[in-house]
Chain A
């Protein structure tokens, strides 16, 4: 039964290269980096080598019940959670999918009668908010040491499980590249009436928040007004911005990196590429991550579950599945068509501060974007 589900998981992720892993899952103690030939190269994600890192088979077994509060949507992570659930016969994972703010509001109101064991969510702000309430338990070295430094909370009470970067997707038929300074965009006439953004979208608001934190309110206002003067087109959603770039309707836009990947995945060689600014709000690196909640019925089981989110299989899933994210562990590489974490030059900003939305929304309102 569980073998069957493992196979199905492997097939459903589309990663033929993962077949090497099925062997280790089946019982032998390999370290997951050896073995079978990768499958035939297809859309780019098929040809990946089997991932490094700690395979699930090398982690302690999970059993009992885990109540998972997931701010990450079922369409994105449901497959992974179901896989982990069926990987152990004695384990029942009960995922509750909702927005991160609803889940935190829930935890506030449930107090110590919450069923929550693990909080798994889309951005560091929500994890920081949980931690600020004193509701996150220490994860310990066994968990933290699996992740890259950048993905660990300073006090060790949450860990990033995957990452995303702010990018500037551009039309490869018009441009060869984009300016490396986000503040160059308002004055660059190539973007006049040809750049798009999604002001109501939470990731965009986090981007403006980062600019506010890094450069101050006045400079941010100047940037927003400059972009408005450029005739920036508004969209409801950053996926739509990326699609408009690929359609040739826009020369460039501001989106999270994975929207570009989703467009590339859905189309046949669209004329779109990912540009990055350096060391400013335009290239903020944010993480999705997990924390063990203080109401966890068995904190050690919960910690082991978080380790599973950092396993080779889970990390590969975040990279090749719909999310196209940056892996949190050094042994797994991001997609080839993305710049590596070392090439990126994101600014140094306290990610948990990016949840301070109120001043950002006031600012967006002041300049007439909301």
Chain B
């Protein structure tokens, strides 16, 4: 019976608790004589099949890229090797590397501060540090340009105060894009690292300390390896977001690969845009491969016995609080200030056609809620396979679900229009399949977020627990429902909340797939901003931030509360 000794090549010896339990598992499986796939001791075949089906479903729309690619033919191939395309791909990779590094450098220390130290106002800072995630890049980047661009409002106001304040340097180019993308994506790393730290058994750290290691050495030798899978998952979300985002680099004038795609799309060459997206998918595959080499998957199910020992910062407590304060201030205060400024300036100038309607918020919450539930449910089998499966196949299934995340939303939207129109017949023409397609698009785009969060909590479940349930007579289903599911629930909820947040602010696929007459907060913001009525973007944008902040609060509370 194969065990998992062939995996986790980078895991330090002495940190694995698993072989013994796996043997027990394996014996039980032999006993029941069913559903043992190669080496996946704990995996019913049905779960593997379900995961495979989900992966296949989310890869399906990408077939369209190939169809369109064949249409584009030689011209398409030529487009991908044009000097501009090659040059901007280099720019994209530089940007992705910088944003990922900066996000990790901000996210991990923040997570450590709020979980492992006696930082003041920890719950407040936990929410505040996670909150920038809810700011859509088209609002965040636009706000930064409005505030600190060449003729920025806030810059003008600061200079106008006459306090001798220096002019803030213009936010633009590679530095500006890195800054803004980092500010709005580092919460992925913060949240995943925080979850891992919260569920980590710190008796191990104490043991290391008892054996004479300093704080730093204990972090490096014990904590770091244990949170690495989580940080890796968060960093991957950041990297692929940075790779596929169009809005931020466009607004901040840094030339990246998505711009080439967008120019072709705007010049009405849909096929070329699709071919260029294939290249983006290839790069994504490379990023995924790199991440899998770095991941080093230590299963870290906790064995209880946690203590509440926190690092005492002493008089550095308030100094340490400056870090989350500064980050939150820059990431949240700037867009809020600009939105309020717009609201005050433009509010009086136009008529009712632009006014905010509550249905926009209702529609947003409804589709985002539906997408969140569905994505979390579909993500569960994938997460289960990813966490428990040891085969190459398990890795492939999980990584397949990441590909859709890196495809620009507009390309995904067009792909689904293609399939909807081709196979939807009259139902498509009547617009009846659009809403299901829209929710499916959200699943394709955001599944990795649900899988990542759920997978981490599956890893945290000691396999001996469901095993014990089964030895007491429960069948597989029952043991899953009664034992595993409650333990995995925090991860599922966290995943669903992440999907909810990102769906609320999703724009490109929403624009293409919404039924006619169906407006959401995001599409309304786009619609008025596109016509230059910035003041009218303020109210829906503030509501978008408010609703998102509320669900972020639920997210932080739920996962914090239940794990504890």
Contacts and interface: CB of A to CB of B under 8 A. Distances in A.
A278 interface: no
B421 A234 contact: no
Interface string B416-434: 0110011011001111000
Contact of B429 (A114, A200, A238, A358): A114
Interface in A108-128: 108-111, 113-115, 125-126
B266 interface: yes
B417 to A, nearest CB: 5
Nearest to B528: A75
A249 interface: yes
A236 B149 contact: yes
B99 to A, nearest CB: 20
Contacts of B500: none
A109 B270 contact: yes
B169 interface: no
Contacts of A134: none
A113 B532 contact: no
Nearest to A103: B512
Contacts of B531: 73, 75-76, 322
Most A C-beta atoms less than 10 A away, residue of B84, B351, B425 = B351
A106 B417 contact: yes
Interface string A74-112: 111011000000000000001111110110111011110
B223 interface: no
B91 to A, nearest CB: 11
Interface in B448-484: none
Interface string B238-266: 00000000000011010100000001111
A337 interface: no
Given A75-B531, A114-B421, A104 B270 contact: yes
A362 interface: yes
A contact patch SS? helix
A113 B422 contact: yes
Contact of B417 (A99, A110, A233, A362): A110
B292 to A, nearest CB: 33
A361 B263 contact: yes
Interface residues of B, number: 52
B180 interface: no
A301 B74 CA distance: 41
B373 interface: no
B268 A106 contact: no
Contacts of B353: 74-75, 78-79
Contact of B527 (A73, A358, A370): A73
B150 A355 contact: no
Nearest to B271: A108
Chain A interface: which size bin? 35 or more
A314 B431 CA distance: 28
B544 interface: no
B410 to A, nearest CB: 7
A115 B158 CA distance: 52
Interface in A184-200: 200
B562 interface: no
A98 B145 CA distance: 25
Contacts of B271: 108
A297 to B, nearest CB: 9
B150 A358 contact: no
A197 B142 CA distance: 17
Nearest to A108: B270
Interface in B376-413: 410, 413
Given A79-B353, A95-B517, 15 more contacts: A75-B536, A94-B516, A96-B516, A101-B267, A102-B512, A105-B268, A106-B417, A110-B421, A111-B422, A113-B424, A125-B268, A129-B268, A236-B251, A244-B151, A370-B253
22 contacts: A67-B516, A73-B527, A74-B527, A75-B528, A75-B531, A75-B536, A94-B431, A94-B517, A95-B517, A102-B410, A104-B268, A109-B421, A110-B418, A110-B428, A113-B422, A113-B425, A113-B429, A200-B253, A233-B150, A236-B251, A259-B532, A355-B267
Interface of A: 12, 67, 73-76, 78-79, 94-99, 101-102, 104-106, 108-111, 113-115, 125-126, 129, 200, 202, 233-240, 244, 249, 259, 262, 265-266, 322, 355-358, 361-362, 365, 370
Interface of B: 64, 84, 142, 145-146, 149-151, 250-251, 253, 255, 263-268, 270-271, 273, 349-354, 410, 413-415, 417-418, 421-422, 424-425, 428-431, 511-512, 516-517, 527-528, 530-533, 536
Q: Which 3 A-B pairs have the closest CB atoms?
A: A239-B532, A110-B421, A109-B418
